[in-house]
Amino acid sequence: MNIQHKLANVTISALVMLVMGSFLLAQNFEYPSIDRKSEIGKSLIVQKREEALQIPSDPFGALSSEDLINAFLDYPFIGLIAAYNDMQHGFDVVCQRFNGARELLTREDIADALLKVYLKADPLRYKETSTLFEGGAAMAKLCYLELLISQDEVLKRLDGDDVNAFLKRALEIYNTKSGHIGDYGVHGLAFTGLLIGRILRLHYPTVASEFEQIENMDLFLNKVQLTSTSILDTIISSALNR
C-alpha cells in the first residue's frame, strides 16, 4: 500500500469525529445534540450551529483545564481539522470557531494538564470498541490530542522535566502505533512524529539546525504535510540520540 493510500485511510478515520453527536464534558457542561432530529441539527445555517456549541462564560470558571481538554477533543466539529491539507490551519480554524479551545490555550496549567491526559492515553483503546466508527474515533482523538500538545502555546511552557516526560511518552506511543501500522497508517504515526519534532525543534537548538537542512522538514513541522516517511525516521532518530 502506498503512502497516499495509507494517509487517505487514516484521514477517513479522523473525519468520523465530525459527525458525532452529543458529548458529556464534565458535570458542569454538556454539548447540545446536533443530530438530524434536533433543532440545531435541522438548521442549515452553520453559524447557528457553531453558536449553540460555544461554552457559556459562566461554566468556564468551573471547568478545569483537563475538562477543557476533553471539551476540545469532544467538540462535534473537531473533524474540520482533517478537512484541510494543512492540518495546522485546520486546527487554527477550529480554535477560531470554538471558544473552549481558545480559553484552553490561555490556561497557565495547560502543559501540566495535557501531560496528565497524555500519560493516561491508550493508543490501543480502539481495540476495545465495538464498532469501526468508535475505533476510528478513538484513534482520531489521540491524534488530535497530540496536535493540541504540539501547539506553540503549550510547548513554550515546558521546562526540562516536562520536555523529557512528553518525549518519553511520545516515543512509547510512536512505538505502539508502529506495531499497529495497519490500523493507524503512516498518517497516524505522523501526529506523534509531529509532536516529537516540534519539541526537538524548540528545545534542542542543535537538532533544530539539523532539521533546517532536511528537505520538506519545515513543511511537515509547520503544516503537518508529510512527503516522505524518512522525515519521521529522522525525527525519531534525533529524539533517541539527543
Confidence category of residue 19, pLDDT binned at 50, 70, 90: very low
Residues 189, 181: contact at Cβ < 8 Å?
Answer: yes
pLDDT of residue 48 exceeding 50: yes
Output the pLDDT for position 54.
84
Q: Each residue of 132-167: pLDDT tens digit?
A: 999 999 999 999 999 999 999 999 999 999 999 999
Q: Where are the domains of the chain?
A: 3-240
pTM of the model: 0.83
Lookup: cell for 114: 495535557
Rounded Cα distance between 14 and 141, Å, is 8
Assign residue 30 a region (left: φ > 0; alpha: ψ between -120 and 50; beta: otherwise).
beta
Q: Each residue of 179-195: pLDDT tens digit?
A: 999 999 999 999 999 99
3-state secondary structure 96-142: HHCHHHHHHCCCCCHHHHHHHHHHHCCCCHHHHCCCHHHHHHHHHHH
The mean pLDDT of the chain is 85
The secondary structure of residue 54, as a DSSP letter, is S
